[in-house]
Chain A
Amino acid sequence: MEVIKTPKIENVRMLDRYNNRKPSTGTLYLTATHLIFVDPDAKKETWVLLMHVATVQKLPLSTVGAPLQIRCKTFLSVTFVLPRERECHDLYTSLMQMSQPFHIEDLYCFHYTSSLEEIPRTAGWTFFDLETEFQRMGVPNSNWTMTNLNKDYQLCDTYPQCLFVPSSVSTIVLVGSASFRSKGRLPVLTYLHKNQAALCRCSQPLSGFSARCVEDEQLLNGIVQANPNAKFMYVVDTRPRINAMANRAAGKGYENENFYENIKFQFCGIENIHVMRSSLSKLLEACELKTPSMAAFINGVQSSGWLRHIHAILDTSLLVARSLKEGVNVLVHCSDGWDRTAQVCSLAQVLLDPYYRTLQGFQSLIEKDWLSFGHKFTDRCGYLQSDAKETSPVFTQLVDCMWQLQRAHPSAFQFSERLLLHLHDHVYSSQYGTFVGNCEKDRLDLKLSDRTYSLWGNIASHLDEFLNPLYKSDAYTELLEPNLVPSNILFWRGLYCRFESGVHPRESIADVLLATRDHSTSLEMHIAHLQKRITAMKTLLDVSTPVTDNRLAVDDEDDEQQLGLSLKKSMQVVDDHPLSTSKSADSVFSDGPNIENSITSSYQLRREIDSVCIDWRSLRNIKECVCSTPFDHSSKKSHCWRCGEVFCTRCLDKQTPLPGHATHRPVPVCRACYREVRLSSSSITST
C-alpha cells in the first residue's frame, strides 16, 4: 500500500505511563490493518488496530528521539519514541490516512477475512429481524399495525422499512406527520409492553414558535387511543429546556401542550452530542493525569461531567420505564431522535423487559433501536474522514449505563461486562459490517450482509466467554429499579482505564467464576461417565462371580474367553451409553470402537480417566500463555479441559469430546491435548 512509507522501524521505545524508567525497546511494524510493536526481550507484543486510532499527536522532540502519542477509541494510549523525526512524520501521515479511510469501502470489514472465525460469513446477518421482534411483543394486533409506507424509504430514509403505527390512523396522517418532523422521523412504535403501554419514538416537531400540524396531532392522539388503559400519554423531550427553546428559532422545537390533546410534556436535560464528546475527553484527561492525587482525580471526574450525563440518561430511562409500567404510553424524542432517544428507549426497555437482559434480547434491542432506527454509527464513531463534530460517544454511554445496571443487579443480566467491552471494541473497529453505515438503507445499499462478517455471528461462536455465571433468569421478572443516588453511579475503571495494567484488581472474581463453572461442567460429565463405568464394572464382576468360584481356573485361557463374553454382555446392559448413541459430527468416536470393546483393557480406562483433569491450574500469577503471549488484566484466560492448564484464546481454539466425559459435547482443549485425543482414539480404532 502506498500510504505505508515505512513498514518497519527499529529501535523504537514504547513509553508506559507507570513505568517510565524502563521503557521497552523493540520494532514497530505498520501493516495494512495494524500497528504492531514487538519487544523481543520482554516477549511483548502490542497490537493497535488502525481503525481504533482516534488521535495521533507528535510530541516535542527529545534527546532520545521523536515521540508519537497514539490515543485509541478503546481508550488505549501509547507513546512511541522513534529514533528519527522523519520516520515519526511518515508514521504520523500514514496513521492519519489509514485510521480514517476516505471511502466507506476501504473500511476494515470489507477486507477482513479470518481463519479464526469458525463461522460462515453469512452467520449472524439473519439472527434478528424487526418483524419477528415485534411479533414477540404481540404486534401487530388490533391496536397496532404494520405499514409498508416506508418500503422504499420514501417516507423517512433513516427509518426501517417496516414501521408499526396505530391501526386507527390513515396514510395521510402518517405522511402529514412525517413532513412535520425533523428528517421525516415521525412517531412510531418501538416497544409494546405486556400491559399494552406503548413506547414510541420520533424526532422533534417543526413547530417553530407557533406552527402546528393537524396530522401530527392526530397521530399522537391515535397513539393515546391505541392504549386502552390510559387516557393520556407522556411526551418526553430528552433535551434540556434551553436547547429545545433554541431550536424553535430554527423552525424546530417541541410539542405545545395546548395543541395536542391528552399529552403531558416533559424535558429531561440530557446534553447534546457536542457536550458529551468534550465531557469524555475531559474524563480521559483525568485518567491520564501524571502522578494523580486522589483529589485531582475525583475533581477531574467531576468537572468532566461524565457521571452526571450517565446519571441523567439512566434517570430519564427509569422515568420512561416507570410510566410504561404504570400503563401510560410514552413518546420519546430529542432533536433528530437517533442519539438520546436511542439511549433512553433502549435502556427503558432493558429495565422493563427481562428478555432484553438476555444476550439474545440485548443484541436484538441494539438491532432494533440503534441499527434499524438509524443511529449514525459511521458518523458518531468517526469511521471515515469527515466532520469531527459529528463524532460523539453516544454508544459508549449506552454501554456505560448497561455496566452501571449490571453492577447494581449482579444476577439480572445473562451477559457479563466482557460482552459490553467486546461490543464497544467492535462498534469502533469496523471489523464486522454490523455497525457500518448510518441507517438500514445504507447497510442494504452497501450489501454488507453479503460482503462482511456480522458481529452477532462472532458472538454466537464465543457465547461461553460472555455469559454471567450469576445470572438467574427468574430473579427479576418485573421492572428493574436501580437505585440512582449519585453515590451509586461509579466511574468505570474497566473501560476507561482498561489498558492501564496496574490499576485493576489482580484477581478477577468474574474469571474465577467462569472457570469454576466450566470446571464443574467437566466434572459433572466425568462423574456421569465414571458412574456408568462403575456400573458396568460391577456387573462384570457380579456376572463373573459364579465362574470365579473356581478361583484356581482363572488363568485358564478358555475361562478368559468366557469372561470376555460376559464382559460384552455386561456392557450391553448400559444401553444408554453415550458412545453408542451420539453421532456428533465432531466426534472422534463416531466411527471408532463400539461398546463391546471399549472396556476391554485397563489402558482404555486409564485413557478415559487421564482425559479429564480434576484439578485445573489456578488463574493466579499466570503471566503468560505457553505461546508467550503475556496476559493482561483484560485478556481472557481459558483452561484446557483435558490437561487443566491455562491458555490464551488463540491457543485454545480446538474443541473435541473427551473419552472420559459421558456426553459427547466437544469441549475446549489445547493443541497438544487435541493431538493426544485424536492420536489415541485412532490407535484404539486401529486395534
Chain B
Amino acid sequence: MEFAHLIKSPRVEKVLVHRPLNKSAEGVLCITGHHLIFSAGGESPDEFWLIHRIIDLVERKPNTPPAVGGTLVLKCKDFSVISFDFQNTEELNNVSASLDCLSSIENQSLYYPFFYQPAYTAIEDGWTAFRPEVEFSKLVMQQQEDWRISYANKEYAICSSYPSAVVVPKAVDDDVLIAAASFRVGGRFPVLSYRHEGGAVMMRSSQPPSGPNVKRCREDEKLLNSVLKPGMRGYIIDTRHQSTTPTPKSKGSGGFEIESHYPQWRRIHKPIERLQSLLESLSKLVEACLDTGSSMDKWLSRLESSQWLSYVKETMNCACLVSQCIDQETAAVLLHGGEGLDSTLAVSALAQVILSPDSRTVHGFEALIEREWIQAGYPFVLRHHRSALSNTVSRNKENAPTFLLFIDCTWQIMQQFPCSFEFNEGFLLQLARHSYWSQFGTFLGNNELDRHQMQLSNKTVSLWSHLNRPEILRSFLNPLYEPNNRVIWPSVAPMSVSLWPAMYLSYVVEPRIYDDAWRDIAAICEQDKELRSKAQRLRRQLIDLERDAISKGLLDSPSSIGTVFD
C-alpha cells in the first residue's frame, strides 16, 4: 500500500460519525493511501468513502483530560463538515496526523488518478477529444485567409502556460508572436479565443508590462491590429479596476495598453475580484450557509457581506459587455486582466456560453472547459489545493475559486434559460467537484507543459472518457432541452441573481426533493416524446392502409373527393 509510513492507525473501531443530513452512526474507520472509509455496523451496514483530496481542513479536538479520546473534524471541499468521535486519544492523534499529511500532499504524481483503474473501457478517449486542431479545424478551414494554427510554442519556450498549438491571425508570422510574447506578462501573447458568427472575434492575453521605462512593442500592436478589419475599432476589456491598474509598478503588475500606441482600440475597465479576496468571499459565504442557527437578519447580512453574489453579478456583467461588443457591434475584443489566468478566463468562457449555442451542449461545454481553462493554462492544482473551509494558515495566495465562480455564473444563466442547455445542474456540480478532487487526471497539472511532463494522458483516465459514457451522461441531460440558436442575454439585475442551493446548501437543505422533481419532469418529457413518435408511426400506418384500400378500390381517393369540397 502506498503511504504506509504515513498511516499509523489504518483501522479504528467504535468511531462515532456525525454527517450533515444523516443520523449519527458508530462503526469502523479505515485509512488507505487515497481514501478514508467508514463502515457502520448494525443492521443496515452503511458505508462511505472520502477521497483524501476532498479534505480542506483537519481539526483535532481532544477531550479535556482526564477524559480520553476526542473529536476529529473534517472540513471538505464540497462544503460538508464531518466529525468523528474517537474513544482513544492515540488513535485520534494518529488518524488526524495521517489525514493532515495525506490531504496536503503536493506531489501530483502521488494523487489518486495515477492509481485509479476504471472497471470499464471508454468508447472515446477524452485525452484526444478536444485537441486544438480538432476544436479549431472548422474555423481554420473556413477562414483560411484570416487564421492559422501556430506551433511557435511547441516546446513551451515562448509561454510556459500556453498550449503547444494556438490560433493566431494568419497575417502575423511566428516571429511577431515571439516578440509579442516577450512584451506580455508570462509570455501570454494575444491569441484567438472565440470567433462569433458575424465574424467578430474575442482574443485574450495577459497585461503588457508596466513601469515608466516600458517601450512600446510594435509586434504586439501589429498582432492586435491584424484582427481588425479596415476602419474598424476594437475594444480592450480590462478586468481590473482602472485606478489600480497603472500604479503598482514595483510588482511588475498593472501594465496597460497606452492609447497613443493602440489608436484603433478603446480600453474599458470592468473590475472583477480575484484570487485571495475571492476565496475569502467564498469562505464567508460557505460559513454563513453552514450556520443554520442564525436569524434571518444575520443570514442576509452575512450573505451580503460575503459579496459572493456581487462577484457573480460583476462577472456576468463583464461577460455581457464582451458579448455585446462582439454580437451587437461586431467589434473585436481583447480581454485581459493581470496574468490572463483568472478573471480573463472566467469572462472569456462565460461570454461564449452567452454567445455560442455550441457551448450549451454537453460536448461543447466540455470543449469550452478544455479550451478556455485546461489548455489555456488555468493552474487548477494551485488554485484548488485549498478551498472555502481551509484556514488562513493552510491556504496560500495562489488558492482561488475562480473556476467555481464561472460555474456559478453558468448556473445563473441556466436558471434564466432552463430550456437552452443540453446538460443539467448536476453536470455543472460534477465538473466543479472533479476540478477539486477526482479519480480522473483531467484537472491535474497547472498547464499543458505540466500535464505533458507527468504523461497524464498515458497514466490517468480522462474525466471526459467517463462522463461521455451513455449510461453516465444520461443522468446529466436536461429533459427540457430544446436547442436555442440565439445569443442568450441574461439579466444581471440583483433580483435575478440567486444563491445556488445545490452547490452551497446541499448539506443544509435536503436536495432529494428537487432531484425527485427533476425525475418527474424528465418522465413527463419522455412520455411526450414517446407519444409523439407513436402518433407519427400510427399515422404512417394508417396512411399506408388507406393507400392500400384506395388501390383496392375500397376507398375514394383524396383527389376525386377533394374537388367536391374545395
Contact between B538 and A530 (Cβ–Cβ < 8 Å)?
A: yes
Q: Does B552 sit within 8 A of A, measured CB to CB?
A: yes
Report A535-569 residues with CB < 8 Å from chain B CB.
Answer: 537-538, 540-541, 544, 548, 554-555, 559-560, 563, 567
Give the residues in chain A near B524, CB-CB below 8 Å: 469, 513, 516-517, 520
Least distance between A395 CB and chain B CB atoms (Å): 21
Partner of B418, one of A305, A509, A516: A509
CB neighbours (8 Å) of B299 from chain A are 486-487
Chain B residues with CB under 8 Å of A523's CB are: 528, 531-532, 534-535
Q: B153 at interface (Cβ–Cβ under 8 A)?
A: no
User: By the criterion of a CB under 8 Å from any partner CB, how many residues of chain B are at the interface?
Assistant: 76
Q: B552 near A527 (CB under 8 angstroms)?
A: no
A29 within 8 A of B: no
B553 interface residue, CB < 8 Å from A? Answer: yes
- Inter-subunit contact B538/A485 (CB<8 Å): no
Q: How far is the CA of A599 from the CA of B546 in the complex (A)?
A: 10
Q: Does B488 contact A (CB under 8 A)?
A: yes
In the bound assembly, the distance between CA atoms of A296 and B493 in angstroms comes to: 12
B549 and A513 contact, CB distance less than 8 A:
no
Q: Which residue of B lies closest to A683 (CB)?
A: B565
* A572 CB to nearest chain B CB (Å): 16
- Cβ of B495 and Cβ of A602 under 8 Å apart? no
Decide if A520 touches B294 in the complex (CB within 8 Å). Answer: no
Residues of B within 8 A of A509 (CB): 418-419, 480, 521
Contact A600–B488 (Cβ < 8 Å): no
Judged by a CB distance under 8 angstroms, whether B416 is at the interface is yes
Whether A548 and B516, one on each chain, are in contact in the complex, defined by CB atoms closer than 8 angstroms, is: no
- Whether A489 pairs with B528 at a CB distance below 8 angstroms is no
In the bound complex, residues from chain A placing their C-beta under 8 Å from that of B561 are 601-603
- Is A605 in contact with chain B by the CB < 8 A criterion? yes
A402 to B113, CA, bound (A): 48
Contact in complex: B297, A537 (CB < 8 Å): no
Q: C-beta contact mask, B389-419 vs A, less than 8 Å → 1, else 0?
A: 0000000000000000000000000011111
Cβ contact of B296, chosen from A486, A516, A519, cutoff 8 A: A486
Shortest C-beta distance, B133 to chain A (Å), equals 35
A488 and B294 contact, CB distance less than 8 A:
no
A603 lies within 8 A of B565 (CB): yes
Q: Is the CB of B44 closer than 8 A to any CB of chain A?
A: no
Closest to B523 in A: A470
Is A409 a contact of B513 with CB atoms below 8 Å? yes
Q: Is A411's beta carbon under 8 Å from chain B?
A: yes
> Complex Cα distance A545/B373, Å?
69
Q: How far is the CB of B23 from chain A (nearest CB, A)?
A: 16
Known: A470-B521, A520-B527. A292 touches B494 (CB 8 A): yes
A302-B304 contact given A603-B562, A618-B482, CB 8 Å threshold: yes
Is B493 a contact of A500 with CB atoms below 8 Å?
Answer: yes
Stretch at the interface among B1-9, B119-127, B211-219, B502-510: B502-510
Residue on A nearest B493 in the bound complex, by CB: A503
Q: Decide if A19 is an interface residue (CB 8 Å cutoff).
A: no
A620 CB contacts on chain B under 8 angstroms: 419, 482, 484
- Asked if B545 and A554 make an inter-chain contact with CB atoms under 8 angstroms apart, the answer reads no
Q: Is A295 an interface residue (CB 8 A)?
A: yes
Choice from A408, A508, A512, A533 contacting B542 with Cβ under 8 Å? A533
A residues less than 8 Å from B505 (CB atoms): 487-488
Q: Is the CB of B508 within 8 A of A411?
A: no
- Residue B497 at the chain A interface, CB threshold 8 Å: yes
**Chain A residues with CB under 8 A of B292:** 485, 487
A651 lies within 8 A of chain B by Cβ: no
Q: Are A605 and B546 in contact (CB under 8 A)?
A: yes
Within 8 Å CB of A228, what residues of B?
none
- Residues from chain A with Cβ under 8 Å of B493 in the complex: 18, 292, 500, 502-503
Tell me the smallest distance from the CB of B558 to a CB of chain A, in Å: 5
Collect the chain A residues with CB atoms within 8 Å of residue B531's CB.
520, 523-524, 527
* CB closest residue in chain B, given A475: B516
Instruction: Considering the complex, give the chain B residue whose CB is closest to the CB of A618.
Output: B482
Query: Restricting to B506-555, which residues have a CB under 8 Å from any CB of A?
Result: 508-510, 513-514, 516-517, 520-521, 524-525, 527-528, 531-532, 534-536, 538-539, 541-542, 545-546, 548-550, 552-555
Whole-angstrom CA separation of A509 from B313 in the bound complex? 23
Q: Is A491 an interface residue (CB 8 A)?
A: yes
Q: Are B486 and A621 in contact (CB-based, < 8 A)?
A: yes
Say whether A531 faces chain B, with CB atoms less than 8 Å apart: yes
Q: Is the beta-carbon distance between B521 and A513 smaller than 8 angstroms?
A: yes
- Cβ contact of A491, chosen from B418, B495, B517, cutoff 8 A: B495
Inter-chain contact A544/B554, CB cutoff 8 Å: yes
- Taken together as a complex, chains A and B put the C-alpha atoms of A302 and B558 apart, in Å, by 69
CB of B117 within 8 A of chain A?
no
Most buried by B among A486, A520, A620: A486
In the bound complex, do residue A537 and residue B546 qualify as a contact, i.e. CB atoms below 8 Å apart?
Answer: yes
* Contact of A537 with B549 in the complex, beta carbons under 8 Å: yes
Q: Verify A527–B534 contact, CB threshold 8 A.
A: yes
Q: Does A60 contact B (CB under 8 A)?
A: no
| A295–B304 CB distance below 8 A | yes
User: Counting CB contacts under 8 A, is A622 at the interface?
Assistant: no
Residue A11 CB within 8 A of the other chain: no
Residues A559 and B546 in contact, CB atoms below 8 Å apart: no
- Collect the chain B residues with CB atoms within 8 Å of residue A505's CB: 415-418
B300 at the interface (CB under 8 A from A): yes
> Does residue A301 face the partner (Cβ distance < 8 Å to B)?
yes
Decide: B499 and A487 in contact? CB cutoff 8 A: yes
A295 to B494 Cα, complex, angstroms: 9
Task: Give every chain A residue within 8 A of B313 (Cβ-Cβ).
Answer: 294
Min CB distance B36 to A, Å, is: 28
Tell yes or no: B455 within 8 A of A by CB.
no
**What is the CA–CA distance of A308 and B420 in the complex, to the nearest angstrom?**
35
- The CA-CA distance from A301 to B495 in the complex, in Å, is 10
Q: A293-B310, A507-B416, A603-B556 are in contact. List 5 more A-B contacts (CB 8 A).
A: A410-B516, A502-B491, A505-B418, A508-B418, A602-B549
Measured CB to CB, the residues of A under 8 A from B are 18, 287, 292-299, 301-302, 305, 307-308, 311, 408-411, 469-470, 472, 483, 485-491, 493, 497, 500, 502-509, 512-513, 516-517, 519-520, 523-524, 526-527, 530-531, 533-534, 537-538, 540-541, 544, 548, 554-555, 559-560, 563, 567, 599-603, 605-606, 609, 612, 614-615, 618, 620-621, 680, 683, 687
15 CB < 8 A contacts A-B = A301-B300, A486-B300, A487-B509, A489-B296, A507-B418, A509-B419, A513-B521, A517-B524, A519-B528, A520-B524, A520-B531, A563-B553, A602-B558, A612-B535, A614-B536
